[in-house]
Amino acid sequence: FVGCSCASDHVFHHKSTPQINGCFEMTTNNNNIDVSSDYNDETKKKQVQHKEDLGLQTFGPSISNLKPYDPSQEPIFPPDLQVNHQKYHGKSLKFVGTTVTWLQPSSLDELIQLKTRFPTAKLVVGNTEIGVETKFKNMNYPLLISTTNVPELQAVSVSDQGITVGATVTLSQMNAELKKVISSWPEHKTRVLSAIVEMLQWFAGNQIRNVASLSGNIMTASPYQI
């Protein structure tokens, strides 16, 4: 059982009345881990402030029994990208597979031309929504256009009027830029920005935030249909 900040369908089974804040007699429905015996009276008094933290809290002292993290088992970063990553930036790319073609323009003009030429093509940034639709909903998108390499869509500008965020700026990048503004502007001007930063820590996980964009979330309106 692993805690997750994103929306999920984890099912928790209490031995007694469900108490999210109590969180001291819980098991998982997958591997039937029972941690109630590991909790002493002092631990039972400790309450979880955020339900997103239930994953770690439910292990309690028994977390020491879990297999420790071994960084040597992490997949290595591709050496070619470490050495030659710059040559891939600023270039238009095309990948052709058996069922899908992936296009990545390198300018806004090229993006407009591609969308004009292929009006039914899907625009993607982090590919989180399209990936879910193709994998779990059996949707078919034979042509995808990635917008992540378009400089005009990657900028964040700050002025006295506010902040302009490019359409392909990732949530992680936006979060970092907002924190800079919050630290330098008066509090009464940053209340909305502070609320966004507070919310982002619970939005999905780092892997998703590193690729997903604000514009992508607005356009998909998941889980709502527009």
Apex 58 CA angle, 55 and 60, nearest 5: 120
What pLDDT shows up at residue 53? Answer: 59
Q: Is pLDDT above 50 for 167? A: yes
What pLDDT shows up at residue 32? Answer: 43
- Percent of all residues in the chain with a pLDDT value above 70, rounded to a whole number: 69
Residue carrying structure tokens 């009027």: 161
Over residues 150-155, the mean pLDDT reads: 94
Neighbours of 58 (CB within 10 A): 23
Q: Which residue has the higher pLDDT, 214 or 86?
A: 214
pLDDT in tens, 137-152: 889 999 999 999 999 9
Q: Which residue has the higher pLDDT, 226 or 21?
A: 226
Cβ–Cβ < 8 Å for 180, 186:
no
What pLDDT shows up at residue 56? Answer: 54
- Domains in the chain, ordered, with CATH? 12-65 (no CATH), 87-146 (3.30.43.10), 154-220 (3.30.465.10)
* Bridge partner list, 144: 102, 122
Q: Is pLDDT above 80 for 95? A: yes
Query: Buried b vs exposed e over 200-218: b needs ≥16 C-beta within 10 Å?
Result: beebbeeebbebbbbbbbe
- Percent of all residues in the chain with a pLDDT value above 90, rounded to a whole number: 44
Q: Residue 15: phi, psi to the nearest 5?
A: -80, -20
Which of 3-12, 50-59, 101-110 shows the lowest per-residue confidence on average (mean pLDDT)? 3-12
What pLDDT shows up at residue 49? Answer: 64
Whole-number Cα distances in Å, 142 to 104, 145, 165, 186, 219: 14, 10, 29, 49, 20
SS3 199: helix
What pLDDT shows up at residue 77? Answer: 83
Whole-number Cα distances in Å, 112 to 87, 105, 117, 152, 164: 23, 9, 9, 12, 21
What pLDDT shows up at residue 3? Answer: 32
Q: Is pLDDT above 80 for 203? A: yes
What pLDDT shows up at residue 64? Answer: 66
Q: How confident is the model at residue 168 (pLDDT cuts 50, 70, 90)?
A: very high
Give the whole-angstrom CA distance, residue 120 versus residue 143: 8
Q: What is the mean pLDDT of the chain?
A: 78
Over residues 187-193, the mean pLDDT reads: 94
Q: Is pLDDT above 90 for 44? A: no
